[in-house]
Amino acid sequence: MKVSLLQLDIAFGNPEANYAAAERAIRLAAQSQPDCILLPELWTTGYDLPRLDEIADPGGKAAAAFIGGLAKEYGVNIVAGSTAWQREDGVTNTMFAADREGELALEYSKLHLFRLMDEHLYLRPGSSKGLFSLDGTPCAGVICYDIRFPEWIRAHMASGAEVLFVSAEWPLPRLAHWRALLISRAIENQCYVAACNRAGSDPANVFAGHSMIIDPWGEIVCEAGEGEEIVSGELDLAKVREARGQIPVFADRRPEMYK
């Protein structure tokens, strides 16, 4: 599986500009014929949280149609990072994916809201797992702060997921945490981690970039710098089975003792 990560600089509170930038990046990435394209968190709006009632996407319909159309046009899976979805009972930070036919393969709303960036004041948390399948490969998707909760990631991996997709707007001051947490999640779950962060800044934050793919042994397959960039890497899924067979972490778990 070849995965391309679109590390975009997101225009603060400007969906029109962000759709145009995402389309350019997707079309460029598609030229190298990846199996999957991954976008960052809140790529349509950025963290303009106080204005989400104005700029969030009603039901996610506009973003889903946009991504689905490009996925079908290029015959590529697109894990569309996350966007702000306006629902009847509030706004969610929702990751979705379109398969090669443009059909919805995933809808996951961020479970853990990040208080340091006031998410809990403007967003409603999700209530379901991010499990899905791409081309027959069991996968999971989570968003940014979720990676600080290893029990939440393990809940997905114990269900058989082999690839963890992470979309984020992770700030530069905690870059070391970003790298360490992602590598840890890959090693402890013996899975591939494909993580797409944003580049650039907004009025309150500078973001870290460093989107990366990590294999089940914790080795970095590819890693971006801090600026706008498209990076791609090959996922050899046989390595997942190799790691899980050599060190049988899942077979040796004692979940009855973890309560």
Q: Which residues are identified as catalytic?
A: 41, 110, 144
Q: Where are the alpha helices (DSSP H) in the chain?
A: 15-30, 52-55, 61-74, 119-122, 150-157, 175-189, 238-246
Distance CA 196, CA 223 (A): 10
Distance CA 147, CA 229 (A): 22
Residue with tokens 């590529």: 76
Strand ranges in 39-167 using DSSP code E only, listed in sequence order: 57-58, 77-87, 90-98, 104-109, 131-134, 137-143, 163-167
Two structure tokens written together for 110:
């961020």
- H/E stretch holding 222 reads strand 220-223
Distance CA 191, CA 199 (A): 25
Dihedral, 153, 226, 170, 100 alpha carbons, nearest 10: -50
